[in-house]
Amino acid sequence: DAGITQSPRHKVTETGTPVTLRCHQTENHRYMYWYRQDPGHGLRLIHYSYGVKDTDKGEVSDGYSVSRSKTEDFLLTLESATSSQTSVYFCAISSGQGANQPQHFGDGTRLSIL
């Protein structure tokens, strides 16, 4: 299995509080991704990174920010959490981008915003 660790695995917090999720990889892969998975919507890309300090927005980036200060860590921050951000969040990594590149996923963070 690809060395991807997401933390925390579960979190419950209140509306309006800041939340940071961490993704740590030991594969030295260049590309890292944050997705959210919701019933009826499937997996949707929030943000991704194509190198240290290089990030770009995905399909559902509003309300989220990311940072990547070193290759192995990709942080997802909800500046002021809302109930609509209750979801399961997955981090993924890939060694390259393009048609044939697979992505390897972590086991997810289940986030509940009350």
Partner 1 sequence: TQLLEQSPQFLSIQEGENLTVYCNSSSVFSSLQWYRQEPGEGPVLLVTVVTGGEVKKLKRLTFQFGDARKDSSLHITAAQPGDTGLYLCAGYSTSNSNSGYALNFGKGTSLLVTP
Interface ranges with partner 1 (CB under 8 A): 4, 31, 33, 40-45, 48, 50, 54, 56-59, 90, 92, 97-108
Closest distance to partner 1 from the beta carbon of 46 (Å): 11
Nearest to partner 1 of 70, 98 (CB atom): 98
Nearest to partner 1 of 69, 101 (CB atom): 101
Closest distance to partner 1 from the beta carbon of 98 (Å): 6
Nearest to partner 1 of 87, 103 (CB atom): 103
Closest distance to partner 1 from the beta carbon of 30 (Å): 10
DSSP secondary structure string for all residues of the chain: ---EEEE-SEEEE-TT--EEEEEEESS--SEEEEEEEETTTEEEEEEEEEETTEEEE-TT-TTEEEEEEETTEEEEEESS--GGG-EEEEEEEESS-STT---EE---EEEEE-
